[in-house]
Structure 1
Amino acid sequence: MLGRVRRPPSHRSTASRRKTAAHPGAAGRRRAPRVVAALAALAVLAGCTAPAEGRTLRSPQPLDAGNRDGTSTPVADPVYPSYGNPGIDVLHYGLALTWAPPTKTLTGTATLKLRVLRADQALRLDLTGPYAVTATTVDGAAATGRVGGGKLTVDRAVTAGSTLTLVVQYQGTPAPVPMPSHRGDAEPLGLTVTGDGGLWTMQEPYGASTWYPSNDQPSDKALYDISVTVPDGWEAVAGGTPGPVRGSTFTYSSDRPVATYLTTLAVGQYQQERLTGPRGLPITLWTRPGVDDAMLPVLRKAPEQLRWLESRFGQYPFPSAGAVVVPSDSAMETQQMVTVGGSLGKYPAALDTVMLHEYAHQWFGDTVGPSQWKDVWLNEGWATYAEALYAAERDGTGIEAWAKRARQRDAEVRQQLGPPGNPRSDSFAEGNVYVCPALMLYELHRQLGGPAFFALARAWVSQHAGTAQDRAAFTAFVNRQTGRDFTGLIDAWLDSPTTPA
């Protein structure tokens, strides 16, 4: 999922030979063709014309994402219980935002359509920061709303089974919150104001609530419409499908369910580049002129990388794709618009696999995500293994060589951090939830063979699109899909204090 820098140390080098990535247990070996720069260039030239201002991008019909009304089954998160409210299910967020760089003031009107799952004497959502609520209504009737202790509390009793519309008008200067991690690239979470008055955000496992009232937990996915008004000469970038630009107001929409941590917002003086991906998929790159230019050759590989992923995991699941570069050391799989730290531009080879990792998350983590942070391995294991397969093919090296190195790393992180099935709340998205479950998938791949393994991956995404799942659901699915009992293998890789044999 998320995280941030998606390159565990054990993935940085590869051996000189490989078995076919489609079947790591095959007896025969062959060299995979290396990716050539000319192919990437052709992909870029195929579609770099931007549509006229004010026109919505056209895109191919994506994979049916299910859950098209935004309904979810929220659960209390055991890792970060202070975030989220399992008593409500937000169906849709309508965010109308205005950013004023001179005063660093964010003014917002958030319109939330939600279902009440549990009766309560007040309506409670997450909203962190020095915001003043200027007006609140529930189904058009005025109500009192106040911010404190990381929560927005609206003094209105709610009844289980009801559906209501909450409108909150608020204003303030965004302030991020600490990230519960020891990672070398750990940064404050949420909407961050830059010295020149820009904005950017990365917010896993929480931090959406630093810029809008939200049910800030992974199990409550919702649909979105976002408009952002900025001064002339500035651009606003958000997740979702780009819509019309009217003057200095930028619009985006998500008609596939989105978890709050997968939303993004960036405001700055950006340049835009349009590419065309598989089946005419529109791809948008947002970079800072003169700052991120060195990253463009790698970012322009997006069509090629998405084709590689589609050939293994099925059709790209959303109507558009893209990436926005921000002043960070990390990268994040924000839905339809990957958020990339500009510091990664110093390492082109690493950036290549980081981008593949984040695009892989569009299938694993975005389309199908975890219902609680205890299962973050479910995101990171798939994306890390996809990254390992990609690097092995790109470099003409063996996935078995990767597995050998990864086992060494697995032993280290299990000793340091424990097994991935029970991550520590103060060590979010550290090495154990990447390499350990990736090795579990390698073992499934080895035992099933290439065709059955990739069929398993495609079925997991297609059958659970638009939902949040957990370990029990994944285990039951694997056993049902394969007709074999892999419970012991999965439990061993997720729970063992030492690397399984």
Structure 2
Amino acid sequence: MRHPFATVAVAAMLLATGCTSSPEKAAPPAETSKAPTTDYSVWTAGRSTPIADPLYPEKGNAGLDVLHYGLKLDWKPDARVLTGVATLRIRPVAAAPEIRLDFTGLTVDEVTVDGKPATGTVEKAKLVVPAPVVADRPVTLTVSYHGSPKQVEMPSHRGDASEGIGMRSSKDGVLWTMQEPWGALTWYPVNEHPSDEALYDMAVTVPPGWTAAASGTPGKVDGNTFHYASTDPVAAYVTTLAVDRYKRIEQTGPRGLKITNFVVPKTDDRYLSTLKKTPQLLEWLEERLGAYPYPSAGALLNGSFSAMETQQMLSMGRESFRRADLRQFEAVLVHEYAHQWFGNSVTPKTWTDLWLNEGFATYFQYLYEMRLYGFDKAYLEKYLRERDAELRREVGPPGKPKAGTFAESNVYLCPAAMLKELNDALGDKKFFALTTAWAAKNRNTNQDRAAFIAFVNAETGKDFTKLIDSWLDSPKTPA
């Protein structure tokens, strides 16, 4: 996610410092997938080790490991009704008398477990299916549902927190979602925690003239049904879906990488020149982080006041940049693309280590802005230390976040300042070799602070434990 309060460059910042009844049930989407399989080994890449979150223990279920989500969705813009059939391939981690997942705001129509009828009730943002499960004996849960998605509250004081998080639709039927730390629960049943990553297949049916854009690799279009697949594991918060009257623009990136951008003609014309720079932006990142970790890239424009690193398909809120210098849009593209390495490919085990995502993305954004705006390392050092001191007083250190201050500025800038200290100590060559190795050797895994420190010390042959811990935990800016 982009920086919550600062959409301007570092240089500019320093100078300026400043359940309602359910709608009528819609027709279910057409069948689009092949006959179901009981060979769960095909989803091995979606195997995870779920854990309970210390900040938000009410979200997610550490007793379930979802291997694969098959989502067949139908969106009716005129009625603003979403109809879905979600098929979840689940590996129970522990025996339990029921299947419990995150889900809210939509009406459950039908539930089956391994093809047999079951019941499912939704209460307090949980879908509960009273079907006993046995550890490591996989089950298939299918849930049919419908309704108008409703956003939920974001536990933060961020400027964009008032929007709410999850899926929303506008009066004209346009649909989109922003959802960190959660929000996928507003449009499909999900184990909503970053420690449970899964594979995805989506088939989204929309009326003629509309286009569905989603996370994953764009696939075939069958009439008005759009397909997307994620063959690398995905955390629920970086899934996305948007439906609008999009125009699809394709490019080729480094090493033949397919890039697909979705824009609304006329509405998004001012962003086209910057989006066309995507191959060059990815080349700049690859020089410092190694090969882009996914088979496709791209971005969609939506009506949000934020931006999000949704996997393989960035979600860029046009309202953030409508009156902004386009260089800000370019810098935030770099930030969200950097997240494909940090946060998406290497994902934190719990939300306590959000700094592992945002610190890296912010630091690489700042490095890019040095080139974009023309300021030097001394200027960046001065800005980081001054702002770091303010944020530690206002919000606290980044390594000890509070449940009510999710993703506030301290988990962006303060760890970015720590990474600059590490960069200064190692020099560019060794630092970029370190960041490249971290992303490559931990690809498609969940990591935490202890793993990062151990990795840095092993790779460099030096003990940086004190430096990293002090920058993450100290109430004041380290000397």
Match of 1:146 among 121, 134, 140: 121
Q: Secondary structure at the match of 1:346?
A: coil
* Alignment CA distance shift 1:68-1:442 (3 Å): farther
Q: Which residue of 2 aligns with 1:300?
A: 276
Q: Which residue of 1 aligns with 2:10?
A: 11
Between stretches 115-124 and 4-13, larger displacement belongs to: 4-13
Any gaps of 5 or more consecutive residues in structure 1?
17-66
Shift of 1:466: 0.6
Shift of 1:492: 0.1
Deviations 1:18-54 (A, max 9, x none): xxxxxxxxxxxxxxxxxxxxxxxxxxxxxxxxxxxxx
Any gaps of 5 or more consecutive residues in structure 2?
16-42
Q: Which residue of 2 aligns with 1:411?
A: 389
Deviations 1:415-437 (A, max 9, x none): 00000001111111111001100
Q: Secondary structure at the match of 1:13?
A: helix
Between stretches 245-254 and 3-12, larger displacement belongs to: 3-12
Shift of 1:9: 6.4
Shift of 1:6: 7.5
**Equivalent residues of 1:133, 1:169 under 8 A apart:** yes
| Aligned residue runs from structure 1 range 303-382, under 5 A | 303-343=279-319, 344-347=321-324, 348-382=326-360
Q: Which residue of 1 aligns with 2:63?
A: 87
Work out the number of aligned pairs and report it. Answer: 449
Match of 1:429 among 385, 389, 407: 407
CA distance in 2, matches of 1:283, 1:314: 18
Shift of 1:13: 3.1
Match of 2:442 among 455, 464, 468: 464
Shift of 1:14: 8.6
Q: Which residue of 1 aligns with 2:147?
A: 172
**Equivalent residues of 1:7, 1:350 under 8 A apart:** no
CA distance in 1, matches of 2:264, 2:3: 20
Q: Which residue of 2 aligns with 1:33?
A: none
Q: Which residue of 2 aligns with 1:448?
A: 426
1:98 matched to 2:74: yes
Q: Secondary structure at the match of 1:69?
A: helix
Q: RMSD of aligned C-alpha atoms? A: 1.6
Shift of 1:4: 5.8
* One-letter amino acid of the counterpart of residue 65, structure 2: D
1:420 matched to 2:398: yes
TM-score (norm. length: structure 1): 0.87
**Equivalent residues of 2:156, 2:405 under 8 A apart:** yes
* One-letter amino acid of the counterpart of residue 152, structure 2: V
Match of 2:215 among 228, 239, 247: 239
Shift of 1:7: 3.7
CA distance in 2, matches of 1:85, 1:248: 35
Between stretches 390-399 and 78-87, larger displacement belongs to: 390-399
* Alignment CA distance shift 1:68-1:139 (3 Å): closer
Deviations 1:150-175 (A, max 9, x none): 01100101111211111111111100
CA distance in 1, matches of 2:383, 2:2: 22
Deviations 1:307-332 (A, max 9, x none): 00001100000011001000111100
**Equivalent residues of 1:375, 1:471 under 8 A apart:** yes
CA distance in 1, matches of 2:315, 2:293: 18
* One-letter amino acid of the counterpart of residue 73, structure 1: T
Identify the structure with bigger relative contact order (alpha carbons < 8 Å, sequence gap 6+): 1
TM-score (norm. length: structure 2): 0.91
Q: Secondary structure at the match of 2:46?
A: coil
